[in-house]
Structure 1
Amino acid sequence: MSPPHVLVLTRDQDPHADHIRRLLAVRGARTSVFDNGDYLTRAHVELAYTARGLARRLLHTESGTLDLDSLTALWWRRPTPPRAHPAINDPSVAAYTAQESVHLITDLWEHVPCRAVPARESVFRRAAHKPSQLVLAAELGFEIPETLIATQADALWDFHNRHDGHIVTKPLGLPWVENLEAGHTVIRKCDLVSARDTAYAEALRFCPVIAQEYVPKRLELRVTVVGRRVFAAEIHSQNSNRSSVDWRRYDFGATPYAVHRLPEEIADLCLAMTDRLGLVFGAFDLVLTPDGRYVFLEINPNGQWLWIEERTGLPISEALCDLLLEGA
C-alpha cells in the first residue's frame, strides 16, 4: 500500500510547514509543497474530462507530476495568490490572466477528494468573518465584548462615552496596510482609543473598523483546536506594558506562557464553534477576566501555533500530524 501523501499549500520559508513535514517524514508519510503563486510560472494544472465526467487531475511542477486524486490530505497553510506570467507586459492583460488563474486554482482545491485542513478555502474564508463569529459565539453561549461596527462618527462617540473611554478598535479583516509609495507595511493590531483619537472619528466614513469595550484581563488565552483535541495556553500579557492591550506585541522576556486548565464547558464551546464553522482546526483568542469570566474575542481559522508549543510543550504539532494522517 502506498504511504500517505500530504500536499502542503504554502510559500517559501514557512517554519510551521517545515516542522510538520519533518514530523510526517518520521511517520513514513510523503509530503509535497506547492505555492499557488507558482501557477503558470513554475507549475501547470491539467484537468481533463470525458463525456462521463472528470478523467484526470494533475499538477505539473519542476519536481514532477502529482496526481491530485492520490492525495490523502490537503493542508492549506500560507500560499501566495496566482499572478500573471512575467512575460506579459500589458497591465490590463496581466490583471486578466491573474484573475483567471485565481478562478481556476481556487476551484481546484475545493474538489480534491481528500481531507482538507483547516477546511476547504471557501469554508475557512467565510469562518474568518469577525461579525459572524461574534453572532455565533454568543448564540453558542460564549460571553462576548459589547461591540460596535459602524462608519458614523456619532456612533463611535456615543460608544466611547457609554464605556467611559475604555474601548479598543481593531481591523475588520486585513491586519496590515501596505504603503506602496514608501515600500513598507504597517501592522494594525488592537489599540486603545484615546480622547484625541475620537477627534478623527469622521474618518470612519472611509473604512469600517470594529470597536469593542475593553475587557479587563487576568490572562489572555490562546486555545488551539485540532480535530477533537483542545490545547489551551495562558499568556500573562499583563506583566508587560508592551503586551497588555494586545499580546501580539510580543515581550517574551517579561511575558510568561503556561499550559492552562480550561474548564470543560469552555472547551466544549470551542469544539462546538469549530463544528458550526466547518473547521477541523482553529485558534481562539479568549480573555480570562480578574473575576474569572471567559470572554470570546475571535477565532483564527488558520492561526499560528509553533511559538505556543515551544513555550508550553503542548503537543499541537503531533496532533496536527494525527489529523493530516487520519484515515489514510
Structure 2
Amino acid sequence: MSPPHVLVLTCDDDPHADHVRRLLDRRGARTTVFDNRDYLLRAHVELAYTARGLARRLLHTESGTLDLDSLTALWWRRPGWPEAHPAITDPSVAEYAVREGVHLISDLWEHLTCRMVPARESVFQRAEHKPSQLTLAAELGFEIPETLIATQADALWDFHNRHDGRIVTKTLGLPRVENLAAGHTVIRKCDFVSARDLAYAEALRFCPVIVQEYVPKRLELRVTVVGRRVFAAEIHSQDSNRAMVDWRRYDLGGTPHLVHRLPDEVAERCLAMTDRLGLSYGAFDLVLTPDDRYVFLEINPNGQWLWIEELTGLPISEAVCDLLLEGA
C-alpha cells in the first residue's frame, strides 16, 4: 500500500507548514509543497479528457511530476497568486494571462477528490465573510458585540454617541494595504475610534468598515478547532498596554498565554459553527468579560496556531496531522 500523500499549498516562508511537514514525515507520510505563485512561472498543469471524461490531472514542477489523483489530502495553507511570466511585457496581456491562470488553478484544486483542509477554497472563502459569521454566531447562541457596518457618517456618529465613544473599527476582509509605488505596507488592526477619526467620518462613504462596541476584557481566547477537537488558550492581553486593544500587536513577553478550560456549551458552539461553515479547521477569537461572559468576535478558517502551541503545550500540530491523515 502506498503511503499517504499530502499536497500543501503555501508560500516559501511558512513555519506552520514546515513544522507539520516534519511531523508528517515522522509518521511515514509523503508531502509535496506547491505555491500557486509558481504556476505560469515554473510549473505546468496538464488536464486531459477523453470522450468518456477526465483521463488525467498532472502537476509538473521543477522537482518532478505529481499525479493529482494519487493525493490523499490537500492542505490549503497560504499560497500566493499566479504571476505572469516575465517574458510577457505587455501589461494588458500579462493581466489576461494571470486571470486565466487563476481561473484554471482555482478550479483544479476545487474538484480534487481527496480530503480538503480546512475545506474547498470556495467554502472557506465564503466562511471568511465577517457579516455572515456574526449572523451565524448569534443564531448558534453566541453573544456578539453590537455592530455597525455602513458607509454613512451619520450612522457612525449615532453609534459613537450611543456607546459613549467606546467603539472600535476593524476591516471586513484584508488587514493589509500594499502601496507598491511607495514600497510599503500598512497593516490595519482593531483600533478605538478617535476624535480625529470622527472628523473624517464622511470618508466612510468610500469604503465600508466594521464598527463595534468595545467589549470589556478579562481575557482573550484563541480557540482552535481541528476536526472534532477543541483547543482553547487564554491570552492575558490586558497585562500589556501594547496588546490591550488587539493582541495581534504581539507582546509575548508581557502577555501570558495559558491553557483555558472552555465550558462545554461554548466548545459545542464552536464545533457547531465550523460544521455549519463546512470547515474542518477554524481559529476562533473570543473575549471573556470581567463578568464571565464569552463573546464571539470572529473565526479565521486559516488562522495561525504555532505560537499558541509553543507557549501552552497544546498539541495542535499533531491534531492537524491526524486530520490530514484521517482515512488515508
**TM bucket, shorter chain:** over 0.9
Deviation at 1:181, TM superposition (A): 2.3
Matches within 5 A, 1:7-156: 7-156=7-156
Count of residues in correspondence between the two structures: 328
Q: Distance in 1 between matches of 2:193 and 2:67?
A: 52
Q: Distance in 2 between matches of 1:259 and 1:253?
A: 17
Write the deviation string for residues 52-85 of structure 1: whole angstroms up to 9, x where unpaired.
1100000001111000000000000111111111
Q: Distance in 2 between matches of 1:160 and 1:197?
A: 11
Q: Secondary structure at the match of 2:32?
A: strand
Q: Secondary structure at the match of 1:276?
A: helix
Q: Secondary structure at the match of 2:314?
A: coil
Q: Distance in 2 between matches of 1:127 and 1:303?
A: 12
The letter for the 1-side match of 2:14 is D
Deviation at 1:180, TM superposition (A): 2.0
The letter for the 2-side match of 1:259 is V
Residue of structure 2 in register with 1:239 after alignment: 239
Q: Distance in 2 between matches of 1:149 and 1:28?
A: 48
Residue of structure 1 in register with 2:225 after alignment: 225
Q: Secondary structure at the match of 1:283?
A: strand
Alignment of 1:157 onto 2:143? no
Q: Distance in 2 between matches of 1:322 and 1:199?
A: 52
Matches within 5 A, 1:216-295: 216-295=216-295
Q: Secondary structure at the match of 1:83?
A: coil
Q: Distance in 1 between matches of 2:22 and 2:90?
A: 42
Q: Distance in 1 between matches of 2:212 and 2:126?
A: 22
Deviation at 1:252, TM superposition (A): 1.1
The letter for the 1-side match of 2:208 is P
TM-score by length of 1: 0.99
Q: Percent identity?
A: 86
Q: Distance in 2 between matches of 1:325 and 1:176?
A: 33
Matches within 5 A, 1:204-223: 204-223=204-223
Q: Distance in 2 between matches of 1:41 and 1:136?
A: 41
Q: Distance in 1 between matches of 2:75 and 2:158?
A: 44
Write the deviation string for residues 262-301 of structure 1: whole angstroms up to 9, x where unpaired.
0000000000000000000000000000000000000000
Write the deviation string for residues 125-154 of structure 1: whole angstroms up to 9, x where unpaired.
000000000000000100000000000000
Q: Distance in 2 between matches of 1:85 and 1:203?
A: 38
Residue of structure 2 in register with 1:318 after alignment: 318
Write the deviation string for residues 87-112 of structure 1: whole angstroms up to 9, x where unpaired.
00000000000000000000000011
Q: Distance in 1 between matches of 2:80 and 2:181?
A: 22
The letter for the 2-side match of 1:134 is L
Q: Distance in 1 between matches of 2:135 and 2:306?
A: 29
Residue of structure 2 in register with 1:302 after alignment: 302
Deviation at 1:323, TM superposition (A): 0.2
Could you list the runs of 5+ residues in structure 1 that have no partner in the other structure?
none
TM-score by length of 2: 0.99
Q: Distance in 1 between matches of 2:211 and 2:266?
A: 24
The letter for the 2-side match of 1:137 is A
The letter for the 2-side match of 1:278 is G
Q: Distance in 1 between matches of 2:73 and 2:189?
A: 33
The letter for the 2-side match of 1:229 is R
Write the deviation string for residues 204-240 of structure 1: whole angstroms up to 9, x where unpaired.
0110000000000000000000000000000000001
Q: Secondary structure at the match of 2:252?
A: coil
Q: Distance in 1 between matches of 2:179 and 2:94?
A: 22
Deviation at 1:315, TM superposition (A): 0.2
Residue of structure 2 in register with 1:193 after alignment: 193
The letter for the 2-side match of 1:261 is R
The letter for the 2-side match of 1:99 is R
Deviation at 1:196, TM superposition (A): 2.5
Deviation at 1:253, TM superposition (A): 1.3
Let me know the Cα RMSD of the aligned residues.
0.5
